[in-house]
Amino acid sequence: AQKITQTQPGMFVQEKEAVTLDCTYDTSDPSYGLFWYKQPSSGEMIFLIYQGSYDQQNATEGRYSLNFQKARKSANLVISASQLGDSAMYFCAMRENNNNDMRFGAGTRLTVKP
Protein backbone atom coordinates (compact mmCIF):
# COMPACT_ATOMS: atom_id res chain seq x y z
CA ALA A 1 0.00 0.00 0.00
CA GLN A 2 1.21 3.47 -0.74
CA LYS A 3 2.00 5.89 2.02
CA ILE A 4 2.81 9.57 2.11
CA THR A 5 4.58 11.17 5.07
CA GLN A 6 4.89 14.86 5.79
CA THR A 7 6.84 15.24 9.02
CA GLN A 8 6.53 19.01 9.47
CA PRO A 9 3.14 19.96 10.94
CA GLY A 10 4.08 23.64 10.74
CA MET A 11 6.78 25.78 9.19
CA PHE A 12 7.67 29.46 9.38
CA VAL A 13 9.58 31.44 6.80
CA GLN A 14 10.51 35.07 6.44
CA GLU A 15 9.06 36.88 3.47
CA LYS A 16 11.34 36.73 0.39
CA GLU A 17 13.26 33.74 1.72
CA ALA A 18 13.12 30.19 0.35
CA VAL A 19 11.52 27.30 2.23
CA THR A 20 11.53 23.53 1.78
CA LEU A 21 8.55 21.37 2.70
CA ASP A 22 9.38 17.72 3.18
CA CYS A 23 7.58 14.72 1.71
CA THR A 24 8.58 11.08 1.73
CA TYR A 25 6.65 8.25 0.19
CA ASP A 26 6.55 4.50 0.13
CA THR A 27 5.62 2.43 -2.89
CA SER A 28 6.63 -0.76 -4.62
CA ASP A 29 5.26 0.40 -7.98
CA PRO A 30 8.10 1.56 -10.26
CA SER A 31 5.75 3.96 -12.05
CA TYR A 32 4.10 6.71 -10.04
CA GLY A 33 3.38 10.41 -9.95
CA LEU A 34 3.92 12.88 -7.13
CA PHE A 35 1.83 16.00 -6.68
CA TRP A 36 1.78 19.03 -4.43
CA TYR A 37 -1.38 20.95 -3.60
CA LYS A 38 -1.91 24.21 -1.76
CA GLN A 39 -4.91 24.81 0.47
CA PRO A 40 -5.33 28.44 1.56
CA SER A 41 -7.55 29.41 4.46
CA SER A 42 -10.48 29.72 2.05
CA GLY A 43 -10.37 25.93 1.74
CA GLU A 44 -10.00 25.21 -1.96
CA MET A 45 -7.38 22.76 -3.23
CA ILE A 46 -4.94 24.24 -5.74
CA PHE A 47 -2.65 22.04 -7.81
CA LEU A 48 0.94 23.32 -7.78
CA ILE A 49 3.38 20.89 -9.34
CA TYR A 50 3.84 17.34 -10.61
CA GLN A 51 6.82 14.97 -10.80
CA GLY A 52 6.79 11.61 -12.58
CA SER A 53 8.89 8.75 -11.30
CA TYR A 54 10.67 8.44 -14.64
CA ASP A 55 11.26 12.14 -15.13
CA GLN A 56 14.97 12.84 -15.44
CA GLN A 57 14.78 16.43 -14.28
CA ASN A 58 13.23 18.00 -11.22
CA ALA A 59 9.94 19.71 -11.96
CA THR A 60 9.66 23.49 -11.77
CA GLU A 61 6.65 25.80 -11.98
CA GLY A 62 7.44 29.45 -11.43
CA ARG A 63 8.56 29.86 -7.82
CA TYR A 64 7.83 26.21 -7.07
CA SER A 65 10.31 23.43 -7.63
CA LEU A 66 10.36 19.82 -6.60
CA ASN A 67 13.53 18.30 -5.16
CA PHE A 68 13.02 14.71 -6.27
CA GLN A 69 15.36 12.13 -4.79
CA LYS A 70 14.11 8.80 -6.07
CA ALA A 71 16.50 6.55 -4.17
CA ARG A 72 15.54 8.22 -0.91
CA LYS A 73 11.86 8.27 -1.91
CA SER A 74 11.54 11.94 -1.17
CA ALA A 75 9.79 14.70 -3.10
CA ASN A 76 10.33 17.96 -1.26
CA LEU A 77 8.64 21.16 -2.39
CA VAL A 78 10.84 24.24 -2.56
CA ILE A 79 9.19 27.65 -2.61
CA SER A 80 11.54 30.45 -3.54
CA ALA A 81 11.10 34.13 -2.65
CA SER A 82 8.21 33.46 -0.26
CA GLN A 83 5.25 35.81 -0.33
CA LEU A 84 2.61 36.51 2.31
CA GLY A 85 0.09 34.83 0.03
CA ASP A 86 2.03 31.57 0.29
CA SER A 87 0.72 31.11 3.84
CA ALA A 88 -1.42 27.98 3.55
CA MET A 89 -1.57 24.24 4.09
CA TYR A 90 0.51 22.23 1.63
CA PHE A 91 -0.22 18.62 0.79
CA CYS A 92 1.94 16.05 -0.92
CA ALA A 93 0.13 13.31 -2.82
CA MET A 94 1.00 10.24 -4.84
CA ARG A 95 -0.63 8.26 -7.59
CA GLU A 96 0.64 4.80 -8.53
CA ASN A 97 0.36 3.33 -12.00
CA ASN A 98 -1.35 0.21 -10.64
CA ASN A 99 -3.87 2.12 -8.53
CA ASN A 100 -6.74 4.30 -9.60
CA ASP A 101 -6.70 6.57 -6.58
CA MET A 102 -4.57 9.39 -5.18
CA ARG A 103 -3.47 9.41 -1.54
CA PHE A 104 -2.45 12.47 0.46
CA GLY A 105 -0.08 13.24 3.29
CA ALA A 106 -1.19 14.95 6.50
CA GLY A 107 -0.02 18.33 5.28
CA THR A 108 2.30 21.13 6.43
CA ARG A 109 1.01 24.52 7.51
CA LEU A 110 3.31 27.23 6.16
CA THR A 111 3.28 30.70 7.67
CA VAL A 112 5.14 33.50 5.92
CA LYS A 113 6.24 36.29 8.24
CA PRO A 114 6.50 39.89 7.01
Question: Smaller CB distance to other proteins: residue 52 or 62?
Answer: 52
For other proteins, the closer of residues 101 and 114 by Cβ is 101
> Per rule CB under 8 A, is residue 95 in the interface with other proteins?
yes
Q: Which is nearer to other proteins, 15 or 98 (CB)?
A: 98
Among residue numbers 9 through 68, which ones bind other proteins (CB under 8 A)?
31-33, 35, 43-45, 47, 50, 52-53
Q: For 108, which DSSP code?
A: E
Contacts of 5 (CB under 8 A, 6+ apart): 23, 24, 25, 26, 105, 106
**Residue 105 near other proteins by CB under 8 A:** yes
- Give the type of residue at 74: S
The candidate with the shortest Cα–Cα distance to 36, out of 19, 54, 21, is: 21
- Give CA–CA dist 18/22, Å, rounded: 13
Find the part of the chain contacting other proteins (CB under 8 A) among 15-23, 71-79, 80-88, 93-101.
Answer: 93-101
